């Protein structure tokens, strides 16, 4: 297969590491030396070969291990995958989207054969070979959203469009940065964004919603979000906060390099045709500080971004406790030289 | 440049279905399936031809998709030959032949079925039946609870009534032929519906207003009342428009929208729904020597008052010159 | 996680009377009785003839006054769960044209709205007014248990015993505010208990 899948863990012994190629393609989200919210939406069109934007749904070297971690999360807590009853058509729409995207982008790993409503799906990476009837849930081992998202990196939220608003009425959420699907399912756009500080006053959500309501089929968009995680843990859910929260107190000047990670979410938005819903994939990328500073520009820039970050934002992103230690550690990689605009390595 | 996805289609069949209604059966030109869509969606059909003098002419009209949402092999639309046509419906009726090519936009849905509704009552007047045909097909395939109340002038004017009764049964398809004196008993219809029933109305403006009022007066909350009106952009006195970037100025005609006038000068502008609802055609105003008449449903009150934005698919202008950033 | 001043808490706009409703169902708890008793429309006999009341006194003394109003129906429940059972049965056979009104504490309103939603009523159609204490129902994000009548933050989850920060983030579906473990990072670091929701 074209990708060399790694065998690594995102819990316990945390053996996750990025290969040099994965570091170079990492979606470093800062185009300049400071950060504030914006509706930074752009068309989700194919980008540079080898980059995370090359394909509409990105599959990388961490795929197999991430799917194993997802399966563990779900075994411990099935409430991470839920769909309200009226979302079944949207679930099938999502299954079609992910199967089509992956089989077109990675034909040596995924194949999809469609014969009317008789479909045949092969996933070589996970050793899956299933025949099923599109539209008939009883021909699959799980409901369609759960079935296909157990084979897709990142979280997925499906948003029903009605009453001039978007409603988070289905989702698979096991790699989230600290929000609960079980609590948020059924909320509308403003409600589930309620906890985000500052952005409400800026009118960010009004503009974003208006844009989303008019999202066209065939014209997906994307944006980035970021936070930080101690240890390369994917499951930083509120449900398990009492398990991973203490990690935040374990950062020392000596272990920043290996322990502290930048966590970037590549969020995309696709209009789904049969249900008119919108699917919101949230793809999570992790990079440790010591991996990050191997790209000199990123070392300089991230030091500056983190140092000058608005305290309310830092608080909301959960960075407050260890920010000073990390800023101090990063300062050794910032010689004050200018950085070029855009996020590509120099 | 409009950046919409476009689908070239070929007219595979044209069927007269009523006195002034023709059904067009459209198939993809490149053999690839057309996109699936949700019931209530419409496509914008681009028609290119020549006028009497041989000059090229473009018409763009939105039409509801009435074919089954689950069948991407073809799309079907119905076109009513409108009396004061702006050109599009006459073109479709009089000039388009089997084998001709048209361009379709991606389907856009501004009139969806409420997925959380327990029961759906569709009230159609005349050509307003078209979106409901796709909606009912979609609901039938998932065992949804719906009924149709369809009013038309005469049996020969009413499109598809026979087909609908055969398919869904007389229990679910209630017909009201005006010419035969059949009238809908609205009060009776609205009186004993279970909680969670949604009412959808599509037809002429007066009909929509009538049913909406009846439902409100029967104590139905507005959240459960939905309507779609097939609006041509409003007409008005001609006015002068100048495009700052394109360095061109022209009059917008009485029965022509700003968007149509721009397109008639072979300039591409962004658009999507062409009905003032979606925001794609929002254009910046450089200067306005007069009053902008906002006819859209998209801009906020602040936007309108600022005078700096205009939705060119439906809005008009009264005064000296309107200068746009195009 | 530790930020609590957030904007997703619900708003209660008052029991604005719908003049066209064919049937008006007032579901009231405790001091919520006053929300109806203060309505000038009560003087109109036609209004009263289309109005029904479901009431749980919860220790307040408005029952006699409410009963004496003379609405088309008045039924008194001893507790919230028993009132909700009654409400669910009424709504199961009700028709479009019924307008639902709820007044009382947030927890009471939230539970009434859940029954309304299950019966197919769009939540925007339900008119609500907050009366009485600000005590909250709190959903523990860890064990999913709901703790009633929470007046402090932090508060202890009555199911799993974790100490929870009571956030303003509210779920209509669950009918409660979110509670998240407040001392996960350093167990000994518990902010002082403040009586915030009385």
Asked if residues C126 and C154 have their Cβ atoms less than 8 Å apart, the reply is no
Rounded Cα distance, B161 and B176, in Å: 10
> C96 and B223: CB-CB below 8 Å?
no
Instruction: Place C19 in a pLDDT band, splitting at 50, 70 and 90.
Output: very high
Query: How confident is the model over A211-220, as pLDDT tens digits?
Result: 899 898 999 9
Res C1: pLDDT: 34
Domain boundary among C82, C113, C130: C130
The radius of gyration of chain C's CA atoms, rounded to the nearest angstrom, is 18
Interface touch B219/C119, C-beta < 8 Å = no
Number of domains in chain A: 1
Q: What residues of C are in the B interface, CB distance below 8 Å?
A: 18, 20-23, 91, 94-99, 119-122, 124-125
pLDDT value at B290 more than 80 = yes
User: Is A190 within the bounds of a domain?
Assistant: yes
Closest chain A CA to residue B273: A214
Residue B214 has pLDDT above 90, yes or no: yes
Distance between CA atoms of residues A299 and B319, nearest Å: 58
Q: Enumerate residues 6+ apart whose C-beta is below 8 A from A338.
A: none
- pLDDT greater than 70 at residue A109: yes
Mean pLDDT throughout C136-143? 96
Evaluate whether B153 touches B182 at the Cβ level (below 8 Å). Answer: no
Q: Which residues span the domain enclosing C33?
A: 23-130
Integer Cα distance of A4 and A68 in angstroms: 16
- CB proximity A191 to C under 8 Å: yes
Name chain A contacts of B110, Cβ cutoff 8 Å.
none
pLDDT of residue A205: 83
For residues C71 and C169, membership in a common domain is answered with: no
Quote the domain boundaries for residue A249: 20-331
Lowest mean pLDDT among A98-112, B57-71, B224-238: B224-238
Of A188 and B3, more confident: A188
Residue contact C20–B192, C-beta within 8 A = no
Does residue A25 fall inside a structural domain?
yes
Instruction: Of A108, A20, A13, A22, give the one whose Cα is nearest residue A61.
Output: A22
Angle CA B134–B136–B142, to nearest 5: 110
Q: Which residue of A has its CA nearest to C140?
A: A239
Give the catalytic positions of A in this structure: 223
Cβ-based neighbours of C84, under 8 Å, separated by 6 or more: C111, C112, C115
pLDDT at residue C6, rounded to an integer: 60
What does pTM read for this prediction?
0.93
What is the mean predicted confidence (pLDDT) over C114-130? 97
The rounded distance, in Å, linking the Cα atoms of A41 and A267 is 9
Mean pLDDT of C170-195: 92
- Burial (CB < 10 A; 0-12, 13-18, 19+), residue A337, is exposed
A323-327, B84-88, B171-175, B318-322, range with the lowest pLDDT: B84-88
Tokens (6 digits) for B312: 């060119």
Q: What would the two tokens of residue B193 be? A: 């519906």
* CA-wise closest residue to B164 among B135, B144, B189: B135
Q: Tell me the average pLDDT across A166-187.
A: 94
Of A28, A61, A16, which Cα lies nearest the Cα of A263? A28
Q: Return the pLDDT at A199.
A: 61
Q: Is C182 a member of any domain?
A: yes
Percent of chain C with pLDDT over 70: 96
Q: Are residues C94 and C140 in the same domain?
A: no
Closest CA to C7 of C179, C138, C171, C170: C170
Domains and CATH numbers, chain B: 6-109 (2.40.30.10), 119-228 (3.40.50.80), 239-324 (3.10.20.30)
Judged by CB atoms closer than 8 Å, whether chains meet at B223 and C20 is answered as no
Beta bridge partners of B109: B41
Q: Which three-class secondary structure state does DSSP give residue C20? A: coil
CA closest to B298 among chain A residues: A210
Structure tokens at B8: 């070239």
Mean pLDDT of B257-276: 87
Return the axis-axis angle of helices C106-118 and C80-92, rounded to nearest 10°: 30
Cis check for the bond before A273: say yes or no (omega within 30 of 0).
Answer: no
- A200 pLDDT band, cuts 50/70/90, is low
pLDDT band per the 50, 70, 90 thresholds, residue A39: low
Burial of A197 (0-12, 13-18, 19+ CB in 10 A): middle
pLDDT reading at A177 higher than 90: no
Query: How many cross-chain Cβ pairs, B to C, lie less than 8 Å apart?
Result: 55
- Residue C154 and residue C111 share a domain: no
Q: What letter would DSSP give residue A213?
A: H
C39 in contact with chain A, both atoms CB, cutoff 8 A: no
Q: What is the pLDDT of residue B277?
A: 79
Q: Is residue C11 a part of any domain in this protein?
A: no
- Averaged confidence pLDDT in chain A: 93
Q: Given B118, B217, B221, which is nearest C125 (Cβ)?
A: B221
Q: Best interface-test mutation with C: which of B191, B219, B225, B226 has the largest number of C CBs within 10 A?
A: B219
Residue A268 domain-assigned (yes or no): yes
Residue located via tokens 């050109």: B87
If one counts every other C-beta atom within 10 angstroms of the C-beta of residue A120, the result is 13
Chain C interface disruption, residue of A194, A230, A313, A316, most C CBs within 10 A: A194
Q: Are residues C102 and C158 in the same domain?
A: no
pLDDT (average), residues B237-241: 94
Which residues in chain C belong to E strands, given as ranges? 23-29, 51-56, 73-76, 98-104, 127-130, 136-140, 146-150, 152-153, 155-156, 163-171, 176-181, 194-195
> What DSSP character marks residue C32?
G
Residue whose C-alpha is closest to residue B282's, from B317, B322, B250, B313? B313
* Whether residue C34 is found in the same domain as residue C105: yes
- CATH number of the domain bearing residue C49: 3.40.50.80
**pLDDT score recorded for residue B268:** 82
How many Å apart are CA B2 and CA B75, to the nearest integer? 23
Chains that touch A (3 or more CB pairs under 8 A): B, C
For B127-154, letters b (16+ CB in 10 Å) and e give bbbbbbbbbbbbbeeeebebbbbbbbee
Asked if A214 and B35 come within 8 Å (Cβ–Cβ), the reply is: no
Mutate to test the interface with A, among B28, B36, B139 (most CBs of A within 10 A): B36
- Asked if residue C17 belongs to a domain, the reply is no
The whole-angstrom distance between A197's CA and the closest CA on chain C is: 7
Question: In the sheet where C23-29 sits, what is the strand order?
Answer: C73-76, C51-56, C23-29, C98-104, C127-130
Residue at a domain's end among C104, C130, C156? C130
My answer on whether C171 and C150 are in the same domain is yes
Instruction: Say whether both C69 and C145 belong to one domain.
Output: no
Distance from CA of B136 to the nearest CA of C (A): 20
Q: Which three-class secondary structure state does DSSP give residue A233?
A: coil
Residue C159 and residue C63 share a domain: no
Report pLDDT for C3. Answer: 43
Considering the domain architecture, whether residues C106 and C143 belong to the same structural domain is answered as: no
Which chains have at least 3 CB atom pairs separated by less than 8 Å from chain B? Answer: A, C
- Which of C124, C142, C173 lies closest to A185 in CB terms? C173
Stretch C112-121: mean pLDDT: 98
Q: Give the mean pLDDT of B24-50.
A: 92
Q: Do the domain assignments include residue A122?
A: yes
- Cα distances (angstroms) measured from residue A90 to each of A97, A277, C177: 10, 6, 29
Please state, in angstroms and as integers, the Cα–Cα distance from residue B287 to each residue in B240, B251, B291, following that order: 12, 16, 11
Q: What is the pLDDT of residue B3?
A: 65
CB contact under 8 A, C95 and B193: yes
Q: Is A5 inside a domain boundary?
A: no
Mean pLDDT of A302-306: 95
Q: Is residue C7 part of a domain?
A: no
Angstrom distance (rounded) from CA C158 to CA C161: 6
H or E segment and range at residue A9: none
Note whether residue A309 is domain-resident.
yes
* Rounded CA separation B197/B220 (Å): 9
Averaged over A3-18, what is the pLDDT? Answer: 96
**Whether the predicted pLDDT of C7 surpasses 80:** no
A220 CA to centre of own chain? 16
Q: What is the C-alpha separation between B267 and B264, in angstroms, rounded?
A: 7
Does residue C151 share a domain with residue C119?
Answer: no
Q: Has residue B1 got a pLDDT over 80?
A: no
State the Cα–Cα distance between residues C160 and A242, nearest whole angstrom: 13
Within a domain: residue C113?
yes
* Pair type for strands C73-76 and C51-56: parallel
Contact call for C141 and A180, based on CB within 8 A: yes
pLDDT at C172 over 90: yes
Q: DSSP class of residue B308?
A: -
Which of these, A66, A73, A57, A277, lies nearest to A182 by C-alpha position?
A: A73
Query: What mean pLDDT comes out for the span A244-249?
Result: 89
Nearest CA of chain B to the CA of C36: how many Å? 19
Complex confidence, ipTM:
0.92
Over residues A224-250, mean pLDDT: 92
Looking at the structure, tell me whether residues C170 and C155 fall in a common domain: yes
**Of the residues C130, C151, C179, the one at which a domain ends:** C130
Q: Which residues of C fall within a CB distance of 8 Å from B116?
A: 122
d(CA A18, CA A301): 20
Continuous segment of H or E residues that includes residue B212: helix B205-217
> Using a CB-CB distance cutoff of 8 angstroms, which residues of chain B are in contact with residue C96?
190, 193-195, 197, 218-220, 224
Q: Which two tokens stand for residue B93?
A: 């009726």
The answer to whether the Cβ–Cβ distance between A276 and B112 falls below 8 Å is: yes
Question: Are A159 and A278 in contact, with CB atoms under 8 Å apart?
Answer: yes
Which of A193-202, B246-255, C92-101, C162-171 has the weakest average pLDDT? A193-202
Whether the CB-CB separation of C173 and C146 falls below 8 Å is answered with no
What is the distance between the alpha carbons of residues A115 and C177, in angstroms, rounded to a whole number? 48
The closest alpha carbon to B322, from B257, B267, B256, B251, belongs to B251
Tell whether the model's pLDDT for residue C53 goes beyond 90: yes
- Check residue B23 and give its pLDDT: 95
In a domain, residue A338? The reply is no
Cross-chain CB nearest to A276 (options B38, B116, B223): B38
Say how far apart CA A70 and CA A48 lie, in whole Å: 29
Write out pLDDT tens, residues A73-83: 999 999 999 99
Mean pLDDT of chain B: 91
List, in order, residues 6 or more apart from C152 with CB less than 8 Å away. Answer: C166, C193, C194, C195, C196, C197
Neighbour subunits, C (≥3 Cβ pairs < 8 A): A, B
Q: Are residues C122 and C42 in the same domain?
A: yes
- Give yes or no for residue A40 having a pLDDT over 50: yes
pLDDT recorded at residue C77: 98
CB contact under 8 A, C22 and B221: no
The total number of structural domains in chain C stands at: 2
Distance (Å, rounded) from C-alpha A289 to C-alpha A309? 17
The rounded distance, in Å, linking the Cα atoms of B108 and B274 is: 11
Question: CB–CB of A248 and C185 under 8 A?
Answer: yes
Distance CA B305, CA A20 (A): 55
The answer to whether the Cβ–Cβ distance between C169 and A183 falls below 8 Å is yes
b/e per residue, B286-325, with b = 16+ CB within 10 A? eebeeebebbbebbeeebbeeeebbbbbbbbbeeeebbbe
Q: Which of B5, B114, B142 sits opposite A216 (nearest CB)?
A: B5
Between C45 and B230, residue with greater pLDDT: C45
């Amino acid at each position: 297969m074209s990708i060399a899948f790694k065998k690594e863990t995102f819990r316990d012994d945390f053996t996750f590491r990025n290969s040099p190629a994965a570091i170079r393609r990492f979606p470093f989200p800062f185009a300049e030396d400071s950060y504030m919210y914006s509706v930074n939406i752009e068309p989700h069109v194919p980008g540079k070969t080898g980059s995370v934007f090359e394909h509409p749904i990105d599959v990388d070297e961490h795929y197999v291990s991430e799917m194993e971690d997802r399966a563990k999360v779900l075994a411990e807590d099935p409430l991470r995958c839920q769909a309200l009853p009226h979302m079944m058509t949207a679930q099938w729409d999502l299954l079609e989207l992910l199967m089509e995207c992956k089989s077109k982008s990675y034909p040596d790993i995924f194949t999809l054969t469609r014969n009317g409503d008789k479909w045949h799906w092969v996933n070589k990476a996970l050793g899956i070979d299933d025949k099923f009837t599109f539209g008939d849930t009883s021909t699959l081992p799980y409901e369609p959203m759960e079935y296909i998202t157990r084979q897709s990196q990142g979280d997925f939220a499906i948003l029903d469009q009605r009453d001039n608003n978007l409603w988070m009425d289905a989702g698979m959420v096991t790699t989230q940065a600290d929000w609960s699907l079980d609590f948020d399912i059924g909320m509308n756009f403003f409600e589930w964004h309620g906890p985000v500080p500052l952005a409400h006053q800026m009118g960010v959500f009004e503009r974003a919603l208006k844009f989303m309501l008019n999202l066209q089929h065939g014209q997906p968009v994307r944006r980035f979000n970021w936070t930080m995680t101690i240890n390369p843990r994917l499951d930083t859910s509120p449900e398990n906060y009492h398990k991973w929260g203490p990690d935040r107190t374990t950062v020392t000047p000596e272990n920043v390099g290996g322990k502290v990670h930048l966590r970037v979410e590549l969020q995309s938005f696709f209009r789904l045709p049969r249900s008119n819903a919108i699917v919101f994939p949230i793809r999570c990328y992790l990079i440790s500080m010591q991996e990050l500073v191997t790209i000199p520009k990123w070392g300089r820039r991230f030091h500056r971004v983190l140092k000058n970050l608005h305290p309310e934002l830092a608080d909301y992103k959960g960075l407050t406790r260890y920010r000073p230690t990390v800023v101090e550690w990063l300062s050794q990689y910032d010689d004050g030289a200018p950085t070029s605009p855009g996020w590509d390595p120099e | 440049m409009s950046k919409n996805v476009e689908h070239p289609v070929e007219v595979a069949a044209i069927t007269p279905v009523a006195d002034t209604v023709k059904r067009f059966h459209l198939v993809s030109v490149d053999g690839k399936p057309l996109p699936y869509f949700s019931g209530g969606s419409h496509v914008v059909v681009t028609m290119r031809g020549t006028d009497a003098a041989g000059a090229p002419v473009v018409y763009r009209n939105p039409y509801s998709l009435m074919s089954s949402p689950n069948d991407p092999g073809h799309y079907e639309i119905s076109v009513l030959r409108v009396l004061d046509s702006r050109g599009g419906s006459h073109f479709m009726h009089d000039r388009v032949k089997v084998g001709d090519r048209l361009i379709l936009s991606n389907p856009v849905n501004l009139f969806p079925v409420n997925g959380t509704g327990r029961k759906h009552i569709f009230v159609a007047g005349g050509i307003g039946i078209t979106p409901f045909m796709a909606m009912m097909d979609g609901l039938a395939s998932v065992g949804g609870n719906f009924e149709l109340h369809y009013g038309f002038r005469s049996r020969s004017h009413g499109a598809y009534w026979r087909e609908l009764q055969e398919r869904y049964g007389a229990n679910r398809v209630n017909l009201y032929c005006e010419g035969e004196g059949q009238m809908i008993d609205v009060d009776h219809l609205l009186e004993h519906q279970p909680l969670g029933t949604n009412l959808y109305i599509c037809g002429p403006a007066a009909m929509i207003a009538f049913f909406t009022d009846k439902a409100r007066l029967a104590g139905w909350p507005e959240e459960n009342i939905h309507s779609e009106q097939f609006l041509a952009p409003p007409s008005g006195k001609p006015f002068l428009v100048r495009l700052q970037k394109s360095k061109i100025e022209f009059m917008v005609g009485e029965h022509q929208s700003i968007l149509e006038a721009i397109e008639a000068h072979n300039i591409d502008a962004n658009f999507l729904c062409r009905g003032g609802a979606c925001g794609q055609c929002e254009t910046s105003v450089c200067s306005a020597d007069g009053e902008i008449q906002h006819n859209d449903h998209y801009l906020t009150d602040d936007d309108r008052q600022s005078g700096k934005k205009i939705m060119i698919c439906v809005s008009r202008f009264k005064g000296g010159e309107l200068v746009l950033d195009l | 996680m530790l930020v609590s001043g957030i904007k997703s808490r619900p708003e209660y706009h008052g029991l604005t009377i719908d003049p066209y409703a064919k049937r008006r169902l007032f579901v009231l708890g405790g001091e919520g009785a006053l929300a109806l008793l203060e309505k000038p429309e009560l003087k109109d006999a036609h209004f009263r003839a289309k109005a029904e009341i479901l009431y749980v006194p919860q220790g307040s003394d408005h029952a006699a006054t409410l009963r004496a109003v003379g609405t088309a129906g008045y039924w008194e429940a001893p507790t919230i769960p028993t009132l909700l059972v009654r409400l669910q049965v009424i709504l199961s056979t009700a028709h479009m044209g019924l307008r639902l009104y709820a007044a009382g504490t947030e927890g009471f309103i939230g539970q009434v709205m859940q029954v309304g939603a299950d019966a197919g009523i769009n939540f925007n159609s339900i008119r609500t007014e907050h009366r009485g204490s600000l005590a909250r129902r709190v959903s523990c994000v860890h064990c999913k248990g709901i703790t009633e009548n929470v007046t402090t933050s932090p508060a202890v989850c009555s199911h799993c015993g974790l100490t929870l920060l009571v956030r303003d983030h509210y779920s209509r579906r669950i009918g409660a505010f979110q509670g998240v473990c407040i001392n996960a990072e350093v167990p000994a670091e518990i902010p002082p208990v403040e009586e915030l929701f009385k």
